[in-house]
Copies of this chain bind each other. A is one copy, B any other.
Amino acid sequence: MAKKTKQSRNSTVNALEDLGKNILSQIKKGKNPEIAIPIRALSNIEFDEKSKMVSLGNKVSARYFFHIAHAKKFLQTVEVAAVSHNLLREDKHASLRDVFYMIKRTIPGTKANIVDEQSESDSVIEDLELITDHSREQLNINANKNGSVAGKVIIEDKGDTIDWSKLGSGGWSIPSNVEEIKFKKVTAQYVLYMEKAAVWERLHEDKFWEKQKCIIMSSQGQTTRGIRRLLQRLSSEYKLPIYVLCDNDPWGAYIYSVIKYGSINLAHISGKMAIPSVRYLGITCDDIEKYKLEKHGIKLKDTDLARIKQISEYTWFKDNKAWQKQFKMMKQSKIKLEIQALSSRGISFISNVYLPEKIKNKEFID
């Protein structure tokens, strides 16, 4: 793995140096230096029916150095590339915010700053992912850290051997960057990802992962890039099925769809992030009746209803009969159901009845 890691690092360093060499060679030839960047806009986003991923189309734009509208972005791109190159050589990682501060300074002889807002450096980092064909994680630039994991897995990370089944009530805290983790032993048979940390603690206390030979993983709200990459690695390297457990509302459906298909603003790296084989376990509209939970539903607000309409029209949901049925049921019942509503049937109903039943009967929505 150390070897693989080094190879991966070299590959990123080479991609960055290629960018630099290319610019230098253009300068030597007396050309106006340009960088070719695939366009990241809705107009260039496609849903690939074959790979089942949101992905970028073929439209490319050129960024010129001698161009009044391009010069600043050109400079920012080269600056961020230099920061990433340094990070890789020093074997260190920076957050998005760090990178912003590292390139923020006044251009000598002018009153202009290289960047004024973090959104500028963030956008250039996404460009750089495309230019170099290496993800932000490979550029040693990290997203935010969040989430916990427990289960039948032993990993090696930074020289430490970590057994995810022996970490007390807390579990392992998932780092922002999981590229260099080595899986030593994976005896789990599937992964259950849930959107709520409180539900994770419920399942963990009930030793759900031990009884079910699985892995339980959660963040709080948004699924971080670290978690999405960890799920993808377990799916692709160990062929583990990934099941997603969310609230029965449009926001839950969206969390699932981002993990499965990728997201619009990260369409350029769907290949590294999306997991088309992911399955939605619950909570579903059918559960409400089946488990007699009608009284525990929460009335949908206008914003929820608007969001259902929006999501139901997404390319990847539009022709999906199972999901269209769900959206229709939500609109008709006008209620949503949280995972924790299952607690009304008993604190461990979720661990002892709901999840084992659904998994055994393969009641998933794809």
Contacts from A to B (Cβ < 8 Å): 87, 90, 92-95, 97-98, 100-102, 104-106, 142, 144-149, 155-162, 166-177, 180-181, 197-198, 200-202, 205-206, 220, 295-296, 338, 340-344, 347-348
Main secondary structure of the interface of A (DSSP, over half): mixed
- With A202-B95, A205-B92, A340-B101 already in contact, the answer to whether A160 and B168 are too (CB < 8 A) is yes
Query: Do B98 and A343 touch (CB < 8 A)?
Result: yes
Return A144 CB to nearest CB of chain B, in Å. Answer: 6
Identity of the chain B residue whose Cβ is nearest the Cβ of A346 in the assembled complex: B102
A155 surroundings in chain B (CB, below 8 A): 168
A344 surroundings in chain B (CB, below 8 A): 101-102, 104-105
Identity of the chain B residue whose Cβ is nearest the Cβ of A339 in the assembled complex: B97
Return A49 CB to nearest CB of chain B, in Å. Answer: 37
For A95, give its contact among B106, B173, B201 (CB under 8 Å): B201
Query: Do B162 and A158 touch (CB < 8 A)?
Result: no
A340 surroundings in chain B (CB, below 8 A): 95, 97-98, 100-101
8 closest Cβ pairs, A-B complex? A157-B168, A95-B198, A173-B173, A148-B173, A98-B343, A169-B175, A145-B197, A97-B340
CA distance A159 to B197 in the complex (A): 22
Query: Do A341 and B101 touch (CB < 8 A)?
Result: yes
Cross-chain pairs A/B with CB under 8 angstroms, 10 sampled: A93-B202, A93-B205, A97-B338, A98-B198, A101-B296, A104-B295, A145-B148, A146-B220, A160-B167, A169-B180
Q: Which of A94, A100, A338, A340 has the most CB of B within 10 A?
A: A340
CA distance A257 to B257 in the complex (A): 41
Query: Do B343 and A198 touch (CB < 8 A)?
Result: no
CA distance A93 to B175 in the complex (A): 26
Query: Do A295 and B105 touch (CB < 8 A)?
Result: yes
CA distance A198 to B162 in the complex (A): 22
For A145, give its contact among B90, B97, B159, B201 (CB under 8 Å): B201
A348 surroundings in chain B (CB, below 8 A): 92
